[in-house]
A and B are shown apart, each in its own frame.
Chain A
Amino acid sequence: MANLDPLANRSDAELLELAVAGEESAFRLLYEKLKVSIFRYVFFMTGSRSTAEEVTQEVFLSLIRDGGRYERNRGEVASFALGIARNLVRRIERRERPYIPISANDEFEQGALRAFSAHGECGPLPGELIRDELIAKLHAALASLPRHYRQVVVLCDLCELTYADAATQLNCAVGTVRSRLNRAHALLAQKLKPLKGPQPDIRTAGPEGCAI
């Protein structure tokens, strides 16, 4: 760790220069700074951990390979890296399905079936399973949004970028980001409405009451 100390006060742009030149400690520091935000963005945009890991790795290798294209006056290194991630995600989306239907969640269905068969009759579901189900539904709802709405939700709500930073990243006006976010929240609210319906009393309703 001692060899990182001289680099701790360097800016991201300087670290990138050093990393491009072959300085491994500079690359490690830059990687630690940016990896979470890059991974988070890709994970929530694609809904897949394996895809997020692949893309994150590719983003950093591209950052070193194409580091000469970075211009300090055009923004921070984090924005540059996020831009690379966005392009890679776009390529993946062109190859794969654009939407994941809410009902098509194999993990949830398998988990519910296991719980049902394990309890024999419809007993109380483990809290983790309910939570996992809700998270899966949220992922599906997010994935079902049109791309330009999904992007603002991921950037502003999940990656916690400001409206200005998100607007810079998307190359649009701040007002556009706000209006898209409003619309995205309205769409999400519609998709999440079935989840907040009154839950049947699973101890008395019988097997059919367990269907969620």
Chain B
Amino acid sequence: MNCKAFRARFEVHPHARANLGVDSTEAGQHLADCAECKDFVETQREVVAGLTLLRESEPGLDSSFDAGVIARYRQQNLSRTSPQSFCLPPRSFTIFCVSGAAAVLAVIAVLLVYGIHKPLSTVIRPQPMPAAASAKPVPEARSATVSRKVALSRANVLRKAMTGKSSKTLQPPSNPSAATALGEDDPTPAAFRGLMYCDPLSCGGPMEMIRVRLPFFPDAFPLGLTSTNGVVYADVVVGSDGVARGIRILK
């Protein structure tokens, strides 16, 4: 056995160090022959003895220290279960309330916005006529969104209006800008011939424009109006009450 192998045996366990030199015959023989390893073993034994003395000198924990630790444990327990922890609302509940309030506000905002920006896809907003409406042109509808509907079922309403005042109502205006105003404040849009007395009070509100197909009667329609297939087309403005307000013949 060489010195390296002999000293490697001391790495097994620190408490077996002091005995390794004498437990093995081979190691014992090497020790007898090697002064350096002998000195090494002696040094290791002294280190172990010193550490043993050090360990024996460890002070113990007295009962007052133990009582202090138990007291701290009780204090920590109390602080964890104190009523203060119940004073604050749970975080989730607070988040829920805030979210609910935000949702309500959002719904109100949507309703307000919807109420302001109501779709005008089929609405014609009549403009009130000025006092001297007969001499002045009828202002055109300001609504930019006027869509045309072809509703053959509404032609029945028209025919009734036509039979009542056919000659008068179907007269195309010689001057479209000056016609159609039977009342001073007729809200009927320009280029339409009024079919009933209208003023902002009686005919207020949105109107709907529909396109209808009418049978052609040469005597009933304006001079110069012709038809190749026996029908003419007309746009009719109808109020929200379903009563036709005005008509214009399409050439």
Which residue numbers of A lie inside 8 Å of B, CB to CB?
19, 22, 24, 27-28, 31, 35-36, 39-40, 43-44, 49, 53, 56-57, 60-61, 64-65, 131, 134-135, 138-139, 141-142, 153, 156-158, 163, 178-179, 181-182, 185, 188-189, 192, 196
Contacts and interface: CB of A to CB of B under 8 A. Distances in A.
Given A27-B73, A60-B69, A135-B54, A35 B61 contact: yes
A44 B54 contact: yes
Q: Is the contact region of chain B dominated by helix, strand, or loop, or is it mixed?
A: helix
Contacts of A181: 11, 14
Interface string B107-137: 0000000000000000000000000000000
A189 B59 contact: no
A27 B43 CA distance: 44
Given A22-B77, A64-B73, A139 B66 contact: no
B71 to A, nearest CB: 10
Contacts, number: 87
B40 to A, nearest CB: 9
Interface of B: 10-11, 13-15, 17, 43-44, 46-48, 50-51, 53-55, 57-59, 61, 65-66, 68-70, 72-74, 76-77, 80-81
A19 B58 CA distance: 28
Contacts of B65: 53, 57
Contact of A135 (B46, B53, B77): B53
B59 A192 contact: no
Contacts of B77: 22, 24
Contacts of A40: 58
